Structure 1
Amino acid sequence: MWLWLLALLGLWLLRRWNLERQTVGGLDEKFVLITGCDSGFGSLLARQLDARGLRVLAGCLSEAGAARLRAAASSRLQTVLLDVTSSDSIAAAAAWVRERVGDRGLWGLVNNAGIAVPSAPNEWLRKEDFVAVLNVNLVGLIEVTLSLLPLIKRARGRVVNVASVVGRLSIFGGGYCPSKFGVEAFSDSLRLEMRHFGVKVSIIEPGYFKTAITGSAELEKSLLRAWERMPSETKASYGDKYLQDCEEMMKKCNPNLSLVTGCMEHALTSRYPRCRYAAGWDAKLIYIPLSYFPSAITDALFTWTSPKPAQRV
C-alpha cells in the first residue's frame, strides 16, 4: 500500500518537474514591466531578464535609480519614472508602455514596488503610518494592475505580485503585514477572473531577505521615531530591552536575493507557472507550514520567540 502511494507521489513530482522545465517561446519579443527597480529585487530581476533577452520596461521611483540600472544593463532595457502612489504617474507610465508594446500587448507585469516603514508594534504607530505603507504595497499595486490589464489580456500574459510570508502569518505591527494579506486576496480573485482570458497570476512569498526596505537602517530609524513619540507611561510598559530586542530581530535577513528573483523569472518564462512561490528556506520550512497550524499553536510559538515587554500579565 505505502509503496504504491510513494510510487504515485514520485510520478506526480516527476511530471511536475518536467512541466515546470518547459519555457515559453519567443522571449526576445516579450515585454515585461517591473515596478520598484531602483534597488533590491526589482533591480536584480530587471538585469536578470534583460540577460535572457526579454524586453524589460523598468519602473523606477528616481532618475538616479533609473540611471544606475541603465548603466548595468543592455540597450534593450528601457526605464520610466513611476510613483505607484500617484494616479497621474501611473497613467503616464501606462501610456508610455502602450506606445512601446503596440498590438503585441504586455507579456508580464511584476508588481514589486514596496515599502516596510513605518514599522513598529501597533500601539506605537498612528493611522497615517499604516496608510503610508498600504498606499504603496496594496493600493498602488492594484491601480498599476488595473491600468495595464487590457494590455496583459491582449498578450495572454502574466501578472506576478510580490506578497510575503507575513501575508499568511502577521507577526509584527504596522501596515506591512496587512498590505501583504491584501496582496494575497487581490491576487487570488484576479487569478480566478483572468483564467477565462488565458492570463496567469502568480504570487511570490519571500521569507526575510535583506533589501533596501528590510534589514536596513531605515527600519531601525522608523522604530526609534515611533518609540520617541510615545508617552512615558507606554514606554515604561514595554521597557528599553523590548526596543533593543526588536532592533536585533530586524537584522536577521537573507542577503541572497536571487532566490526570490529566480521565482519571479520562472513565473514569467515557464509554460506552467505556479500560483504561489515560497522563496527562502525560512519560508519553505517554517512560515508556510506554520500558516496551516491552529492559531493557538502559532500564537504560543511566536509569543515564545518574540520580544517580551517589561510589564506583563
Structure 2
Amino acid sequence: MVLVHESPGSWQQISASGWNRAELASLRLLSSTETLYIADMFLYVLGLVVLFYLFRWARELPRVGDKASKYVYVTGCDSGFGNLLSRHLDKAGFRVIAGCFTEKGEEELRKACSGNLTATHLDVTSKESVAKVAAVIRDKVGERGLWAVVNNAGVAVPSGPCDWHTLDDYKSMLDVNLNGVIGVTLSVLPLIKKARGRVVNVASVFGRICVTGGPYPVSKFAVEAFNDSLRFTMAPFGVKVLCIEPGFFKTSVTDSDIHMKNVDKLWAKLPQDVKDDYGVEYPQKAKDVIKEKVSQMSDGDLMKVVGCMEHAVSAAWPRKRYSPGWDAKFFWLPLSYMPTCVVDYIFLKNAIPIAKKLQ
C-alpha cells in the first residue's frame, strides 16, 4: 500500500498494483533527491559558518605596533578586572595610567608593575578628580594623543527589589556606573580623537537582559546606550568604541558576603508595610539564594574578561562587542532574544515567594 499526497491535508491510499514500476522508481528518486538537497544545504550553511569563523579568527590576530608610545587609561584598578588588565598591558609594553580609588590600590600596582605604569588617585564621581587625572594624561601624551580609555570602574550594590530602594540609591549607583563612564570618556575624548584611538566600556550581560531589581541593570542598560551612541558619532573620526559584556565572574561585583550584607542593610531601612508585603522569611531566603546560586555561577578565571579587554585595546581589528563567560554566551544573551513572556515565565517561576500573594 502507498500513501499519495493529493492536496494539503488530503492523503489517498493506492495499492502498489495501481502503480507501474517506473512511477514507483520515480517516487523513490524524488524522495532521495529531496534528502540529498537538504543534506547539501546543511553542508553549505555549515561551510559558510566555518569560513566566517576562520575569517574572523585570522582578521583578529594582528596587533597594533609601537606599543611603547601608546598610553592606555584604565579606571577601577584597585582590584578585579581593572587591576589585572593594568598589569597585563604593562607587561605587553603599553604605557598604562591606572586610576585607583584607594592609596593601597595605587601602592600595590606600583610595586607589581614596571616604571612605565602610572598609578593615580581617581574618584569617577568627582568632577575635580576626573579633570585632574585628565590634565595629567594631557601632559604625558602630548600631541600623540591617548590611545585608549577602559571604563572599568563600577559598583553592584545597593541591589534588591525596586520598592526596597530610594531615589538616592539609584543616583549613587548611576553616579559611578553611568555618569562616571560618561565623565571620564568626555574628559579625554579630544585626546583619543587625536590618536584615532578607542574607548572600551565595561557593561554587563545585565545591560542586555534584566532579571533583577534595583539600579544595577538600569545603569548597565544606560552604559550600552551611551556606548552605541558614542560608536556612531565617533566613527567619522576614526575612533573605535567597543563594549565588554561579562557574565558572572568572581569579583567584588559578585561577592556573596557583600550582597548578603546589602540585603540586611536594605531590609533594615524598609517601612513596616513593605516588610509585611514580602514576609519576615524573605530576606533570609534571598541570602540563601545569593550564597548558593551566585557563587556557583561565578567563574574564577578573570583572564577570560581581561583577554577580551586586552584584545579591544591592542587588536588591529577589534570586535564591536565581547561577551566573556560561558553563561553570557549560552544562557544570558540567547535568553535576551527570547519573547518577554518566556523570560518572565522562567524567572517568575523560580522567584522567591512573597508573603502577600495575589488572590
**TM (normalized to structure 1)?**
0.97
Please name the residue that 1:258 is paired with: 303
Conserved 8 A contact 1:84-1:144: yes
Deviation at 1:256, TM superposition (A): 1.8
CA 1:213/1:6 → structure 2, altered by over 3 Å: closer, same or farther? closer
Counting only pairs closer than 5 Å after superposition, residues 1-313 of structure 1 correspond to structure 2 as 1-251=41-291, 252=294, 253-313=298-358
Deviation of 1:6 after TM superposition, in Å, equals: 1.6
Contact 1:215 1:250 (C-alpha < 8 Å) held by counterparts: no
Which letter maps to 1:255?
G
Q: Relative to structure 2, which stretch is displaced further, 207-216 or 133-142?
A: 207-216
Letter in 2 for 1:288: L
Report the Cα offset of residue 261 of structure 1.
0.8
The range that moved more, 88-97 or 166-175, is 166-175
Identify the range of structure 1 (302-311 vs 81-90) with the bigger mean alpha-carbon deviation: 302-311
Q: What amino acid is aligned across from residue 299 of structure 1 in structure 2?
A: D
User: Residues of 2 paired with 1:216 and 1:136: CA distance?
Assistant: 21
Equivalent residue, structure 1, for 2:33: none
Unaligned runs of 5+ in 1: none
1:279 is paired with a residue whose SS is coil
Distance in 1 between residues matched to 2:118 and 2:84, nearest whole Å: 15
What is the deviation of 1:130?
Answer: 0.8
Structure 1 CA distance for aligned equivalents of residues 256 and 74 of structure 2: 22
Distance 2:46 2:124 in 1: 48
Shift of 1:7: 1.4
- How big is each residue's C-alpha offset from its partner over 1:76-110, in whole Å with a ceiling of 9 and x where there is no partner? 11111111101111111100011111111110100
Q: 1:267-312: per-residue Cα shift (whole Å, max 9, x none)? A: 1111111111101111111001111111000111111233222222
Q: Are 1:153 and 1:198, in contact at CA under 8 Å, matched by a contact in 2?
A: yes
- Which segment drifts farther, 176-185 or 25-34? 25-34
Residues 241-273 of structure 1: per-residue CA shift (max 9 Å, x gap): 432232234342222211111110111111111
Q: Helix, strand or coil for the counterpart of 1:267?
A: helix
Q: Could you give the per-residue CA deviations for residues 207-260 of structure 1, whole angstroms, max 9, x where no partner exists?
A: 112212322422222221111121233223212443223223434222221111
Partner Cα separation in structure 1 for residue 70 and residue 321 of structure 2:
22
**1:15 CA drift (Å):** 0.4
**Letter of the 2:228 counterpart:** D
C-alpha distance in 2 between matches for 1:236 and 1:211:
33
- Kindly report structure 1 stretches of 4+ aligned residues shifted beyond 6 Å: none
Write the distance in 2 (CA, Å) between the matches of 1:99 and 1:245.
53
- Per the alignment, in what secondary structure is the counterpart of residue 110 of structure 1? strand
Assess if the C-alpha contact under 8 Å between 1:59 and 1:80 holds in 2. yes
Count of matched residue positions in the alignment of Structure 1 and Structure 2: 313
| Alpha-carbon distance between aligned partners in 1 of 2:233 and 2:353, rounded to the nearest angstrom | 44
The alpha carbon displacement at 1:51 in A equals 1.2
Is the 1:202–1:267 contact (alpha carbons within 8 Å) kept by the matching residues of 2?
A: yes
- Describe the superposition over 1:2-37 as per-residue Cα deviations: whole angstroms up to 9, x where unpaired: 222221221111101100111111122211000010
Q: Which protein, 1 or 2, shows the higher relative CO under an 8 Å CA cutoff with sep ≥ 6?
A: 1
1:214·1:250 contact (CA, 8 Å) conserved in 2? no
Give the letter for the 2:184 counterpart: V
Aligned partner of residue 219 in structure 1, secondary structure: helix
Equivalent pair of 1:31/1:56 in contact (CA under 8 Å): yes
> In structure 1, the residue corresponding to 2:158 is in which secondary structure?
coil
